[in-house]
Each structure stands twice: as structure tokens, then as C-alpha cells.
Structure 1
């Protein structure tokens, strides 16, 4: 049986765990471990490498093209007959441009209009102005559609289009800064479009800042001038805007003996700046009538419906409209329209209008004239 001293030594050895008892030596106090027995486990997460066979992200669709610009009187609601509506241009004969603005040139326009057919544009998705270096001459049946994005500019130097063909339709386009000053062909006029023959239709188009000669008793039409036309059919102008036109007579439209039907359109800020009326008073160059519209001749008609004509001026007669049927066989009507602030600085039959025709006054129904 171990002695008491041996028992103590043995017990110390057991407590130390791995210590060795040395007989006859003092017993050292047991040492506790100084390091933690807890282990830290590090978890490494790896992302699998992308496989070359993985499907690419879906392609984003291209942004939608800008909406087609809408012109004319926004409040115009007069019914438009089929013959005055836009033409189908979904299958063009000729396309001007290859998708970039640089591909749409003046030469491409004159070539396409000279050849005729259905002519459209592909100048990119954004609005684009084509400066015209020459007047485009139409000799064939032609439909010109700008898609609501294209402007043809005369750069303040030249007429934009001259028509002497069977039929021209101009739609969804802007014709701006045309200038026919100095061109006295058939009496002159027509800064944007000059019609020497054939039929004309204008749909959802804008005419801005066009000019023609500043004086003269009969010339006119800063935007459009018509002196001859086929089959005596009316010129239809539908949902179109005329603004900032300046000419001796007719700051927007002018004709000799041609009939106009103007539907759901806007004419604003046009001026007839000639002086001396027609025939010209002695000592004057003549002109100054029809701030927006100038019509002269014999048997013809003018119908204005669903339209807004405002803030036009004439130095002589008819701040809005000058209508003279020399043999008093022609007639004029205003339907569902508003004519306002169209001062005539010389003479007028009713507010803003000088009229001489088959009746004493133009026929006015459902309209405001002030």
C-alpha cells in the first residue's frame, strides 16, 4: 500500500496529465493549457467559371421611332373625303437615303422627284433637314411622303418644288425657307411649291418661313401658288400648317382661277406685304392682299372647313382671305372654323375677308369670325 507521500505524488501526476513525478522533489502546481482548443474552419466558396456555351443575355429591342408629327388645326374635326386623305406609301417606288442623315441629299431628292412614283425617305430615326441646292422639278405622277421626320429647306435662296406634271401629293413633310423672289414665271410666287399644271394634294404637312416677291398686283403664295391645273379638280389641303409666310399677296396660298378645299388646317402669322392692291393704284407697285389666302380669276371656289386662321395681316384687302371672282360666278364658304385677329389695313367685306363673288357675302356656317 503506498505511503501518504507517494499518494500525493501519484495524484499530482494524474492531474498534470502527462507530467512525471520525481521522487523526493516538491510537487509543482499543475499548469493549465494557454491555448484554446476551439478550431476555426474557413469555408471557401467558389463561383463556377462561365461556360462558353451559356446563352447570351437577350438583345434589347431598338427604341421605337418618334411618332409621326401631326400638323394642322388640333381641334379640326371636319370629315375628310377619301380624295383628300393621305395616300398609301407602304410600297414605295423609290426610297431616298440608306438609313443615315448623310445619305439623304439634295441630289437624291431632285433625282427621285424627277423620276416620279411613290417616294419615301430612310434618313434615320430622328428628324432631319435636307438643304436643297436646286429646285426639284416634278414631271411625273408623284407621291412624296416625309414620314413626319423630313424637312426640305430652300435655305432662303430658292423655290423647293416646281410641278408641271399630272399629279403631285405631298404628305407628312415640312417645306421651309423656300424663296421664289425674282422668278416671274407665270406671274411668279410659290416659294415652296409652284404648280404650273396637273393636280395637287397636301396632307399633314407644314410650311414655314417661305417667301416670294414683296410687290406685284397678282403674284402670290409664299407657300403654294397655282396658275394652271388639270381637270379643274380642287386642290385639297388637309391637316396642314402654314406659318410665317411673306409675299406680296397670299402669305400662305395663292391661285389664279383654281379652287381650294382647306380642311382641318392652321394658318398663322402670314403676311401680304405688297402695296397698291390689284390693279395697282397709280404710283404703287401693287399687291398687299390676302394675308393667308389670295384667290383671283373667274369660275372657282374656296371652301375652308374645320380650320383655324389667326394673326395674319394684309396691307390692303383681306387680312385672312382675299377672294375675287371677276365674273362673279365663284363662291366661298367657311364651315366649322375660327378666323380671328386678321387685320386688313385697307378694305374688307366682313372681318378679315374681302369677297367678290356670286353672292353678296361668303357663306359662313358654324364658325367664329372676329
Structure 2
């Protein structure tokens, strides 16, 4: 994605027409008028083959013990996006005491796959990861981590917490089309991911301080991301909490009833993706910071980055749907204090429903009429029953 200098953007009134496309694409044509907000169809529900699982008697945390997401969000959650039934786990981390819940046990469980729960005693526990837990591509096909609302996985400010990559030979190639396969299917639910840090790890372009995923599927339910980090510079690097690439069939990453706070990264200080669709429901993004400078590609003499204070999306054909969600207090040194969305071939669409986006300053540029958003796509974002404010 190519961004002209802030000076040029300011001269052009911070409108969307100024940006050329990604990776040498042609310059953008004039955007549709900001007043035109045609209704778009939300991303369709993935087929059963996608396999993320449907709702059963999920192991939700006990009342009052754990809070994530926006309790006042009332967006309907499709069956596939709900918590997975973990009442019959494949394996359990711990034998009833905090001391038995170790980094080594988490790493082994994730590598083995299946439905994973925790038995660490009655009180909340923090497991400081001594190594990144990595999904083995031939195990599963579903990998579910359910913390029961009591477990925090911490990177200790030193490392990424969780990793899935269908194209990483070290984790095993299981198909001839690693960039587009429907497994493994990773679900994290009723967990906290804190102090993850992928700084210095530039595998697949870097990013993903808490979780990095390429390929298969990802679903996040009732989960908190707190104070995660990735590299502070880089034109297209991002995702202090989540960095996602190459989801099967362009089916969406579901983020449901989850919270993102305190993230810091070059771009996408909560989430970042390239060519990936998202459905974000009843969630909260607060106080995340995209701290890079120089945009993308990096302006001469700058390291690049600084876009997407909360959410950063780049690529060609993809969709973003945000419903029942609060995005507030996030900042971007360049564009999109709340959301940075660039569809290079202008086919992508974005829809905001029953949500509040406020106090998300874009220090460089944003799309006129959409506070906190920088958008290039098929047409202006569709905004329904939502508040967008400075």
C-alpha cells in the first residue's frame, strides 16, 4: 500500500483520492462522495467445511470473575462465531494447582492439538511463557484454548505467546496449497493474553505480539489482550495483539466479546492483516497506539508505519464488519486513528453497525467525513446506527 507524503495529503484536504495502491499499484481514482453510503451485505457465514465449530454448552467463565468485550453490544453472533463446547476436553493443562500450570505444559498441549482446558486451581493464574506455543499443522484439525476466565498467558514482555503458520515448514506442510487451507482451525476463548512481544521477529513480515496466524482459520471469543507489543517501525508491519494472513477462502476472522487495550506497534496496534476479512462483534478497542512514522511506503528518511491505531487492514478483496463495538482513545501517528483500511484493487468493503468510534486521532490523514478512519475501497464505508466522533 503506497501512501504519499502527509504534505500532499493535507493539500488534498485529507481526502481519500491521494493514495496509490499497494506494491506498485496504479494511483487511486476519485473516491465516491462521502455522503453516499449504500447498504452492503455483511460477510456470509462460512460453510460447515470451514469447521470452526458451533455453539454448545460452552465453558464460559463464572459470573463476575471475568469481563471482556462490550456488555452493551447487542450484535447477533452467528453459531460459528460462538464459543466452542469444551466440556469434554482432549487434554488439560495442570492438575489443580498453579504450580502445575507451566509454560512447558502449554507448549506441549498446543503442539498436540485438540480441545485444551486448564486446571490451575480456583484462583486466577498467570502463566509466564518461556517459549512461544506453536501449532503443529498436522494436529487438530481444531485447536481450542479455553482459559475458563481464570488464565492469563503472558509473554513477559519478551516473546510472542502463540503461533500458527500453515506455510512454515518447521510446523509441517499438510497440503500443496498452504496459503489457502481450511485447517488448522485455532480458537482462543475465555483467556487473557498479556505482555506479548514479537519485536525483532520479522518472520512473514513480523508483527503479532500476542498471536500470529497465517493460514487455516482463527476465532477469538471472550478474550482480553493487554499491553502487547511488536516492532515500533516498519511500513506494513503490525498487530500488537493479532497479526493474521491468508485465511481459508477469505472467510472472516471472528472477534467476539473481546477487548484490546494498551497495544503498541508500528501499525495496527491491536490487529493487523493483509488480505484478510474480519467480523468484529460486541468488542472494545481502547488506548492502543500506532507509533511508526512515515506511512507506507516509508517516506524518504523515515522508517515507515504509523497507521491504524486499533485496526489495520491491507490487501485486495476483503471485508470488514464492525458491530456492537466501541473503538475509543486509540491514536495513529499517520492515518486511521481507529481503522486503516486499504483495498488495493478497490473491491473491499467495510460496514459499521450499532457501534461507537470516538476520540481516535489520526495525526497525519483520514477520510473526510469519517473521523478516525482512513478508507480506500469499493465505496465509502456503510455506517448504520453508529456514532463517529472526534
Q: Does 1:107 find its partner at 2:104?
A: yes
- 2:381 paired with 1:362: yes
Q: Equivalent residue of 1:102, what SS?
A: helix
1:151 aligns with 152
Partner of 2:79: 82
- The answer to whether the Cα contact below 8 Å between 2:66 and 2:149 also exists between their aligned partners in 1 is yes
| Distance in structure 1 (CA, Å) of the matches to 2:262 and 2:62 | 29
Determine the structure 2 residue equivalent to 1:284.
Answer: 302
Q: TM-score if structure 1 supplies the norm length?
A: 0.81
Structure 2 distance, partners of 1:127, 1:231, is 38
Higher relative contact order (Cα pairs below 8 Å, separated by 6+ residues): 2
Dislocated runs of 4+, deviation >4 Å: 64-68
**Which of residues 334, 345, 353 in structure 2 aligns to 1:327?**
345
2:371 to 327, 351, 363: 351
- 1:231 shift after superposition: 2.5
| TM-score normalised per structure 2 | 0.77
Residue of structure 2 in register with 1:315 after alignment = 333
Superposed CA offset, 1:49-101 (max 9, x none): xxxxxxxxxxxxxxx97744131012111110001100000000000000000
- Are residues 250 and 125 of structure 1, via their aligned partners in 2, closer, same or farther at CA, if it must alter by over 3 Å? same
- Helix, strand or coil at the partner of 1:267: strand
**Contact 1:66–1:126 (8 Å) recurs in 2:** no
RMSD after superposition: 1.2
Within 1, Cα distance between the matches of 2:64 and 2:384?
34
**5 Å matches for 1:110-129?**
110-129=107-126
TM superposition shift of 1:209: 0.3
> Contact 1:195/1:225 (CA < 8 Å) preserved in 2?
yes
Cα drift, residue 197 of structure 1: 1.5
| TM-superposition CA deviations, 1:313-352 (whole Å, max 9, x none) | 0000000000000000001110000000000000000200
Separation in structure 2 between the aligned mates of residue 65 and residue 334 of structure 1, nearest angstrom: 31
Q: Following TM superposition, by how much is the alpha carbon of 1:363 offset from its aligned partner in structure 2, in angstroms? A: 0.7
Structure with max Cα Rg: 1
Please tell me whether the aligned partners of residues 335 and 364 of structure 2 are also in contact (alpha carbons under 8 angstroms): yes
Q: Would the aligned equivalents of 1:321 and 1:352 in 2 still touch at CA under 8 Å?
A: yes
Question: For residues 202 and 230 of structure 1, what CA distance do their matches in structure 2 show?
Answer: 16
| 8 Å contact from structure 2 (residues 337, 372) kept in 1 | yes
Q: Distance in 1 between the 2:62 and 2:285 partners?
A: 28
Structure 1 unaligned regions, length at least 5? 1-63
